[in-house]
Amino acid sequence: MSNIEKYTQAFCQAFDIDEETAKKLKFQDIPAWDSVGHMGLVAQLEEAFDIMLEPDDIVDLSSFEKGKEILAKYDITF
Amino acid sequence: MTLNDLFQINPYSLSKAEKQKALTQILHELTNKHYKQCREYAKILDALKYNPAKVSSYADLPFIPVRLFKQFELKSVPQEQITKTLTSSGTSGQAVSKIFLDAENVRNQTKTLNEIISSFIGKSRLPLLLLDTEMIKKDRSMYSARGAGIIGFSIFGRNSTYALDENMNIDVDKVAAFFKEHENEPILMFGYTYMIWQFVVRALEEKNISFNAKNAILFHIGGWKKLKDQAVDALEFNRRVQNCLGNVKVYNYYGMAEQLGSVFVECEHGHMHCSNYSDVIIRRAKDFSEANIGERGLIELLSVLPTSYPGHIILTEDEGAILGEDDCPCGRKGKYFKIFGRIKNAELRGCSDTYEKR
């Protein structure tokens, strides 16, 4: 699976949504992406890419797009 | 200065003069914003004869009593922008505060909490033992301050493990497995003061079980009201926590549902500290004038965070006293203070004072 596939899958699984919805998603757009869901997403991403995000990056992870920028810091390219 | 400027610097770095300037600017702007955008708030300020031209310091800005959040639905953004309604975890029967949050406000709360807490524990995420039950995550649309606190704290940890089951019984095997798995690394624990006392410390003591963490940090919040009834003060609390959990560095912190994020943390010298994001003003109950250092009075809390509701300057029902400013031996700048508890307990002066003293 490519990185973008893994990345999108993490969103789909964390929030139980389809890929199209995932790609446009921002924090709190849907009820599932609240602060509880946020930690679920973090767990999915960390497991998918075998990384550990810093607290700053967890806070900054505010949208699907922003998440890609953040993961770049962990040498994950899309 | 703006909130974003504050995010760039150490959370305890502003000296008195710098802070006076920064907070006056930010809080004055917030007051005007809420005045424009919250009708009820504007009415209150009109009744108080608020005149923006007469403000020379943030201490001149009007404060509103915290109980207004129980009586009215105060918000400064349109309802469709509200993504969270936070309720304070008042005991049954009591009116609860309702705080209306939009996405930006939530983000700023989390960011601020992150700046403050990581200045104490560093940026790496430690294994986290939550001294509470996972059930607090259940009702998500109307989440309680207790749940929000737990989730908010989770960003500092990894492998988050809940120590209590759904009936608030400590899961000894689970906790033992957690300590075993992380025995060679620092660990982080978080919980509410009274829950920790009742469901962890007392429960373990009754079972005659203790753990031996080598290097742990505990952050706890929630107030001492119930523990006071059992004659437990901070020293006793820390001692008993260490007895049953091992080598634990204990940090108490103070915050209100009305101002989540900009919390006050007690330093190594037992002083509650204001960060750059907040301030405390002690008011004399008789005329609401500003009390001197060391003088006891009502606690007014100021926070630069509330943007979606007018909770940036509130008068609490807690009593406290400023101990000093910019000169705590721990090196943190800003005011540091002491909390005596709710005003209604004030009549119990004497004995309650005695066991508040460290």
Q: What confidence tens digit (pLDDT) does each residue in A2-29 have?
A: 999 999 999 999 999 999 999 999 998 9
Q: Classify the C-alpha dihedral B332-B336-B342-B347 as positive or negative.
A: positive
| Average pLDDT score over residue span B248-266 | 92
Is B110 in Cβ contact with A54 (below 8 Å)?
no
Contacting residues for B22 by C-beta, under 8 A, at least 6 apart = B1, B5, B6, B14, B276
- Beta-ladder partners of B319: B298, B341
Q: Which of residues 119-138 of B touch A (CB under 8 A)?
A: 123-125, 137
Structural domain boundaries in chain A: 3-72
The whole-model pTM stands at: 0.86
Contact B124 A54 (CB under 8 A): yes
Q: What token pair was written down for B104? A: 């930006």
Q: From the list B110, B123, B152, which residue is nearest A54 (CB)?
A: B123
Long-range contacts of A65-69 (CB under 8 A, 24+ apart): A67/A7, A68/A7
Please calculate the CA angle B292-B119-B61 and round it to the nearest 5 degrees: 35
Instruction: Choose among B295, B270, B316: nearest CA to B88.
Output: B316
* pLDDT surpassing 90 at residue B87: no
C-alpha to C-alpha distance for B207 and B200, rounded to whole angstroms? 10
**How far is residue A21's CA from residue B107's CA, in Å, rounded to a whole number?**
22
Tens digit of pLDDT for each residue in B281-339?
A: 999 999 999 999 999 999 999 999 999 999 999 999 899 999 999 999 999 999 999 99
Task: State whether B140 and A31 contact (CB < 8 Å).
Answer: yes
Residues of B within 8 A of A62 (CB-CB) are 107
Nearest partner of B358 among B234, B217, B203, B215, judged by Cα: B234
The answer to which of A52-66, B60-74, B129-143, B213-227 has the lowest mean pLDDT is B129-143
CATH code at A3-72: 1.10.1200.10
Burial B142-180 (b: 16+ CB within 10 A, else e): ebbbbbbbbbbbbbbbbebbbbbeeeeebeeeebeebbe
Instruction: Give the pair of three-digit tokens for residue B42.
Output: 């504007």
Query: Across the A/B interface, how many CB contacts are shorter than 8 Å?
Result: 50
Inter-chain residue contact A55 with B160, CB threshold 8 Å = no
Q: Do A55 and B114 touch (CB under 8 A)?
A: yes
In CATH, what is the architecture of B3-72+277-356? Roll (2.30)
Q: Break chain B into its structural domains and give their ranges.
A: 3-72+277-356, 110-254
Of A26, A39, A62, the CB nearest to B151: A39
- A17 CB neighbour count, 10 Å cutoff: 17
Cβ–Cβ gap B106/A35 under 8 Å? yes
The span from the CA of A1 to the CA of A16, in Å, is 19
Contact B99, B85 (CB under 8 A): yes
Do the chains contact at B156 and A28, CB–CB below 8 Å? no
Closest-CA distance, A78 to chain B, in angstroms, reads 25
Question: What's the pLDDT band for B142 if we cut at 50, 70, 90?
Answer: low
Residues of A in contact with B111 (CB under 8 A): 59
Write the DSSP symbol of residue A73: T
Token pair, residue B294, equals 């060391």
* Fold of the domain spanning B110-254: Rossmann fold (3.40.50)
Task: List residues in chain A touching B: CB distance below 8 A.
Answer: 26-28, 31, 34-36, 39, 42, 46, 52-56, 58-59, 62
Q: pLDDT value at position B30?
A: 98
Closest CA–CA distance from residue B55 to any residue of chain A (Å): 34
